[in-house]
Amino acid sequence: MSKKVVTFGEIMLRLAPEGYYRFVQADKFEATYGGGEANVCVSLANYGLDAYFVSKLPKHEIGQAALNSLRRYGINTDYIARGGDRVGIYYLEKGASQRPSKVIYDRANSSIYTASSSDFDWDLIFKDCEWFHVTGITPALCDNVANLTLQACKKAKEHGVKVSCDLNYRNKLWSKEKAGEVMSEICKYVDVCIANEEDAADVFGIKASNTDVTLGEVNREGYKEVADKLVKRFGFEKVAITLRESISANDNGWSAMLYDGKEYYFSKKYNVRIVDRVGGGDSFGAGLISAILDGFDSKQAIEFAVAASCLKHSIEGDFNMVSKEEVLKLAGGDASGRVQR
């Protein structure tokens, strides 16, 4: 029987100009769906886990379309509450060369903003559940949703469920001060902390020394120090940090580190030519969760997570449409990209 995993957050409508057109050039937008926790959920379903997404969506056709986008990949949507008036939207302009990608949010007062404790039966949701995943995006939406996220984490721990949290700081959603205050409380109930090379500094003021991601420079020793400080402050069982070396908007070095409280494990580094980087961190988190639930050791787990995320950078849309077998093949050393016949 597949292991039950649950994620909680907002799924949004993504509108993006074709190719590398800028917003001001576009006369048509491609419509897809995605969002941090939903992206993780899709990956977990692809890896064969019994994945449940918890959220709130309006009852109208756009809300139904968002829900259907999850169902088509095998996600259980039984715990999605229905109500409110709108699906959140984000606009994505893809960057190229030295021009960065750009995201514009139009999500204020979406259905999840109206969610209340009565919308979610956490005791039922966490029955027979093995893992619960949240990110720092959902509590950033408003105080109401932050409180729901905290309630969910507390209830998960009551049920003996492992909790992971991707810090996922978004400066367009809240200030560093507010993020630090809210996430410090949530992280009391987190077992596995996931972050990128800047999140710990933005949210908790914990910085890696001698590192400048804008110059493509990552100092491994500095991130060991960051992970150690996070474990000492919150008591995390594990801390995973993705290490993106930004050469340009199209080309990145991609690797990660996992600290299990005893040893530091660094993955191999992939030189990634980016098709779509949205969801790269989410695919990493999902890979790590899947690997841990499958009983991989720490080195195997970080290699699986980074390989999964490396592949996501080659796939259009928020969702990482790869199988466990494809990830294992890349993690095992086949990075040739040769045609599979």
Query: Cβ distance 133 to 164 under 8 Å?
Result: yes
Distance in angstroms (rounded) separating the CA atoms of residues 273 and 251: 5
For the question of residue 85 being annotated catalytic, the response is no
Residue 85 and residue 115 in contact, taking contact as beta carbons nearer than 8 Å: no
CB atoms within 10 A of CB 333: 10
DSSP 147: H
Closest CA to 133 of 306, 310, 281: 281
All residues at 6 or more sequence positions from 186 whose CB lies less than 8 Å from its CB, including other chains: 134, 139, 146, 149, 150, 153, 165
- Are 35 and 313 in contact, with CB atoms under 8 Å apart? no
Q: Which of 166, 202, 260, 282 is the catalytic position?
A: 282
- Cα-flanking dihedrals φ and ψ of residue 80, to 5°? -85, 115
Contact, 225 vs 208, CB < 8 A?
yes
Give the residue numbers annotated as catalytic, written as ranges: 282
